[in-house]
Structure 1
Amino acid sequence: MPEGHSVHRIARQFAVNFVGHRVAVSSPQGRFAEGATRIDGRVMTDAKAIGKQMFLEFDNGLWLRVHLGLYGAWDFAGNISIDPTIASANGRMGQTNQRGTDLGGGSGDDRVFDDAGENSLHSIGAPRRTRLRMAESEKVEAEITTFPPEPIGQVRVRLLTDTAVADLRGPTACEVLDRAEVDAVIAKLGPDPMVDSGPEAEERFVTTVRKKQTSIALLLMDQSVVSGIGNVYRAELLFRARQNPHTAGKKVPVETLRELWCDWVRLLHIGVETGQMMTMDDLDDEAYRKAMASRDDRHWVYKREGLPCRVCGTHIVMEELGGRKLYWCPKDQK
């Protein structure tokens, strides 16, 4: 499932390529036909993300709400331009395993290639006719010869301008809402550092957690407590804080909760800027390049079960918690 940094980066690409344009909206598979007619032919006026949810506004006051969930993905085709605020970091489109990143914000010989040997700054281009898929661990790209291309697979909704097209498949949620309904959805979400990283958001997070008997590991994944954290960030944040994942929220020291919040602010901004869930600090240039080239060298504990902890050497543990895999070090996170 895409974590918060990915959805923010996707929203930024909509802002660059669709906001301000009149959009033809359809449902090739037919399941979203009624919703599509409500926003078909309208101008997109805003694109924003809060946590794992994205909201696209149209000039008739209606919004398209999308939650990709476990299986959702976007395909983009056409003259897709890169958001300059993130292209300066590495020109990537926001998914954990998409290809290539720059070291130090460059755009030439310092470009880093990942295990697949593909660099997304080059392959996406700005602008050029491409087709690419945005999901948590998948990107498929191919040149197109006609525009718009035919939909591929079960496309729930297609958004089409004169120069760009976005196809959505397999989302958990895809619905048209009015402003009041959008506000109601957002009101149920915890704070998102990309929307508000100030002291009130921090205090809201701390106060909410301190009222809960639920384990901190489950609370960090609860989108009503804090927005955007998924399985990777959850494991890494807890390790970085040396916090036992099973401690009840109300028993976690306030200082630790504030540290977790501030660390989430930092890691989320890094993720949005680079497109990678980079959670290791103080790497030299060689180690940084190695980490960006392979997720095996990018995280402290995530997917490292049975391997020695990078700090103490104790084997990392993996267990099921709330239907998801939890990774942690039983010595450093006592």
Structure 2
Amino acid sequence: MPEGHILHRLARLHTEWYSGGPVRVSSPQGRFEDGARAVDGRVLVHADAWGKHLFHHYDGGLAVHVHLGIYGAFTDTELPLGEPIGQVRMRMIGARYGSDLRGPAACEVLTEGEVDAVEARLGPDPLRPDADPERVWARMSRSRSPIGSLLMDQSVIAGVGNVYRAEVLFRHNIHPNRPGRDVTRDEFDALWADLVDLMEIGAQRGRMHVVRAEHDGGMPSYAKDRPRTYVYRRTGEACRVCGTPVLHKVMGARNLFWCPTCQPG
């Protein structure tokens, strides 16, 4: 599932490409036909993201809400667009660019009040300038739940997914099973600041870069054309820092990876 940096990158791109002018919106697949009709030809005011949610805000107080889920993806290109390929849920056409959305978990038109309701259910997003880390600390510092679970709870902190969860805990030598209330304030402050930096790099580059320069060597990445990770999807491989085999387990139905030496229990 795309993590928050991808949605913020899309929001910035779509604001640059489409804001300030009318956008033709259609649903070649047909599943978003009524929603597309409601915003077709309206002026896109701006796009923004909160966690894993993307919002296209149009004039007249309507917004298209997109959650990519596991399979969703935008294809963005310069005009002209060819005939739709595959199941295109939503097609956007501006003055110079076009975007096709396929396979989202959600694609719906909301009022601004409904947008506010969606955002109210989400925790602070490290990539938003209005994010309040004190809200995260208040939840985490009182919780007996493992920090590995809290980081994935979108009502606690929005936008962090499996990769950032595993990697930021490694970078701060925190075992994923440690209860949230046992994380110190200094550890939390450092972890939050690191998430802000790492996710901003991801938003700018469109790729996660989590390995420090001095460790960015040795075994290749877990997949072709992906930057190296410290522990994510490296079960049994040597830790890039200490050489201990990386461990794996399932936490909250999601795969979790850590180094038992660098992240002692």
Q: One fold, TM greater than 0.5?
A: yes
Letter in 2 for 1:75: T
Question: How far is 1:34 from its partner?
Answer: 1.2
Question: How far is 1:11 from its partner?
Answer: 1.1
Give the 5 Å matches for 1:139-288.
Answer: 147-196=80-129, 201-283=132-214
Distance in 2 (CA, whole Å) between partners of 1:239 and 1:294 is 22
Q: Is the 8 A contact 2:163 2:232 kept in 1?
A: yes
Give the 5 Å matches for 1:1-334.
Answer: 1-79=1-79, 147-196=80-129, 201-283=132-214, 298-334=228-264
Distance in 2 (CA, whole Å) between partners of 1:155 and 1:208 is 39
Distance in 1 (CA, whole Å) between partners of 2:130 and 2:200 is 10
**Unaligned runs of at least 5 residues, structure 2:** none
Letter in 2 for 1:181: E
Alignment RMSD, CA only? 2.0
Letter in 2 for 1:185: V
Q: Is the 8 A contact 1:154 1:169 kept in 2?
A: yes
Letter in 1 for 2:71: Y
Assess, with a 3 A threshold, how the Cα gap between structure 1 residues 297 and 7 changes in structure 2: closer, same or farther. Answer: closer
Deviations 1:38-57 (A, max 9, x none): 11111111111111111101
Letter in 2 for 1:255: D
Distance in 1 (CA, whole Å) between partners of 2:159 and 2:210 is 15
Letter in 2 for 1:175: E
Larger relative contact order, structure 1 or 2 (CA cutoff 8 Å, min sep 6): 1
Deviations 1:303-333 (A, max 9, x none): 1110111222111001111111101011221
Question: How far is 1:159 from its partner?
Answer: 1.1
Distance in 1 (CA, whole Å) between partners of 2:19 and 2:248 is 43
Deviations 1:138-165 (A, max 9, x none): xxxxxxxxx3311111111111124322
Deviations 1:160-202 (A, max 9, x none): 124322111110111111111111111111111221376xx12
Question: How far is 1:211 from its partner?
Answer: 2.2
Q: Is the 8 A contact 2:11 2:47 kept in 1?
A: yes
Distance in 2 (CA, whole Å) between partners of 1:11 and 1:202 is 22
Q: Is the 8 A contact 1:30 1:156 kept in 2?
A: yes
Aligned residues: 261
Letter in 1 for 2:16: V
**Paired residue secondary structure (1:318):** strand
Deviations 1:193-247 (A, max 9, x none): 221376xx12111111112222110110111111111111100001011111011
Question: How far is 1:273 from its partner?
Answer: 2.2
Letter in 1 for 2:263: Q
Q: Is the 8 A contact 1:28 1:156 kept in 2?
A: yes
Q: Is the 8 A contact 2:209 2:227 kept in 1?
A: no
**Paired residue secondary structure (2:86):** coil
Q: Is the 8 A contact 1:205 1:261 kept in 2?
A: no
State TM-score, norm by structure 1: 0.74
Letter in 2 for 1:58: Y
**Paired residue secondary structure (1:277):** coil
Q: Is the 8 A contact 1:197 1:265 kept in 2?
A: no
**Paired residue secondary structure (1:22):** coil
**Unaligned runs of at least 5 residues, structure 1:** 80-146
Distance in 2 (CA, whole Å) between partners of 1:186 and 1:297 is 31
Assess, with a 3 A threshold, how the Cα gap between structure 1 residues 34 and 66 changes in structure 2: closer, same or farther. Answer: same
Q: Is the 8 A contact 2:44 2:57 kept in 1?
A: yes
Question: How far is 1:294 from its partner?
Answer: 6.2
Distance in 1 (CA, whole Å) between partners of 2:40 and 2:121 is 28
Equivalent position of 1:116 in the other structure: none
Q: Is the 8 A contact 2:125 2:159 kept in 1?
A: yes
**Paired residue secondary structure (2:63):** strand
